[in-house]
Structure 1
């Protein structure tokens, strides 16, 4: 399918808004409803062992030792243009903590406050361990894609007939929601925002089920079945055809609504043009009042053009006379022989 016949992902309006936003921002995490749901992240023994070693070392390096200063010096040694951006990739608070903690520890030690220095190191170590553990959690997009699997539909969930119908529905929905009439509140903007996504999801769900049934029919290889068995399958064919016709009628209704929205846009545009006519007419009247001055200016410009033509003719005549009276360049005799 090309891009024009390829529908966009469709999300169940019942999915929480925050999760829908996360899913829409990470389409690479989505798994088609026709495929098995993503498995939860597996933690192997090797992963656990690596984390047991890596997390404390990470927390000691950045939370207790001057790892932040070492990182800044390392980035500076690379002569990077974005030194600040590279240093702040964890955020301002962690960077501030890992830069100030070593200095405060040294200061406390110099003041003889060993207990306070140890306490500060322990607090910093604990904070960096917690931060590392939070970083190791399952990404929000992966979690949402797994938990809401089946409540979003991708292009892979539709065969060609279903995809074409869904694209028609999505174009109609987009035409309404992008119309000026909707944006200015001339249409039921609240109803459009709520009802149209529900209609899109209902249509997509039905078309996905049509696709599953047609794919099952291909697997059945009806040409290999006996006439008696094929006769048993005929009611299923009729039911699928009736359902396809029903969803097509719904899509046609959406398209008719989109056309009405377009006609409302035209009428709104026309009303704005009519509202601006009085002010425009006044400007045109001012323009006509200045035509007398324009005629006088045109006469003056024509006179200037005639003067320019006379000057040009005089210059051309002088150049022609100069060419007629200029003697031919005489070459030396030896150069004439070599020519």
Structure 2
């Protein structure tokens, strides 16, 4: 098993109900690749077994009646043997049916609406693994920003699964068409060389388009991660500014001349500039992530003001 196979999770159609998606994701062992035949249903005790019980009992009663009327030793002996075996047969027919596990049933009914590592060739598996990692990174960073109100976490829970499913289904088609392009009778290879080259070129073009889409998803995740880092720095700066009030109060209490008062003003000005720079960087990162998610090219982010007297880098 390759490294991409080990880290690849099942990709599930986001149009399925949330309960079914969660059930399938929680039981990957029962899932069957889309390229394999659909799993057969678990054989329960069939209803037809129970419907035959009245018929069997009716026939047995008729035989007993005939044996009594004819007083035939052979029929009487046969009826006794049937009566002796009847309890075992009836208990088997009346035994409660073995229920199919809900996950196995969902895997059978929704076969083809989830895709596994075995459904892709190695290059496609590697691309899908990158896409899943980018989606995970974006989700983790979004959760950090959710409390700030600057980004909607629920949007990622809807958009990212749809992106992954679209990428996975396209990669599945690329794998299938790539396999078909390679399955050609060697005797025909020379005659259809141009046709095969055209097929291979189409597959590579499609693979390149998906690779660009995965790269865009990675840039989006990187943009959200940058915004989360800026938010952490901004939170830390605000905490330091709050603590700075105590130092400013102490300095003000001991200020005896205009020079000390000027020091207080410079502290306040430097802290304000640092907060403005970090806030601007945070907004730029969020705008860039938003542009990447919509497929646009982001503008160059504004540069933070260089300030050698930044309170995070005291002299």
Q: TM-score, structure 2 length as denominator? A: 0.59
Larger Rg: 1
User: Does the alignment pair 1:214 with 2:178?
Assistant: yes
How far off is 1:48 after superposition?
5.2
Post-superposition shift, 1:182?
A: 4.7
Deviation of 1:51 (Å): 8.7
**Counterpart position of 2:131:** 169
**What secondary structure does 1:178 align onto?**
helix
Distance apart, 1:205 and its partner CA: 0.6
Instruction: Name the structure 1 match of 2:157.
Output: 193
Aligned-residue CA RMSD (Å): 2.9
Determine which of 215, 222, 226 is the counterpart of 2:189: 226
Aligned equivalent of 1:205, options 133, 149, 169: 169
2:21 corresponds in structure 1 to 20
Structure 1's unaligned 5+ residue stretches are 59-131, 289-339
In structure 2, C-alpha distance between the alignment counterparts of 1:287 and 1:147, rounded to whole Å: 72
Provide structure 2 residue ranges, at least 5 long, that are not aligned to the other structure: 51-87, 252-315
Deviation at 1:208, TM superposition (A): 1.2
Residue in structure 1 matching 2:91, options 53, 56, 63: 53
* C-alpha distance in structure 2 between counterparts of 1:236 and 1:216, whole Å: 9
Deviations 1:80-138 (A, max 9, x none): xxxxxxxxxxxxxxxxxxxxxxxxxxxxxxxxxxxxxxxxxxxxxxxxxxxx44xx232
Q: CA deviation at 1:11?
A: 0.1
CA gap 1:182/1:8 in 2 versus in 1, 3 angstroms: farther
The number of aligned residues is: 210
* In structure 2, distance between residues paired with 1:278 and 1:260: 27
CA distance in 1, matches of 2:208, 2:89: 57
Which residue number in structure 1 is paired with residue 105 of structure 2?
A: 143
More helix by share: 1
Q: Deviations over 1:290-330 (max 9, x none)?
A: xxxxxxxxxxxxxxxxxxxxxxxxxxxxxxxxxxxxxxxxx
Give the aligned partner of residue 31 of structure 1. 32
Cα separation, partners in 2 of 1:229 and 1:272, compared to 1, 3 Å? same
Pairwise CA distance, 1:282: 5.4
Name the TM-score, length of structure 1 as normaliser: 0.55
1:277 has 2:252 as partner: no
Instruction: Write the distance in 1 (CA, Å) between the matches of 2:2 and 2:99.
Output: 37
Tell me the alpha carbon deviations over residues 254-277 of structure 1, each in whole angstroms, 9 at most, x when there is no partner: 011001001101110111011101
Q: How does 1:75-224 map to 2 (within 5 A)?
A: 132-133=96-97, 136-179=98-141, 180-184=143-147, 185-220=149-184, 223-224=186-187
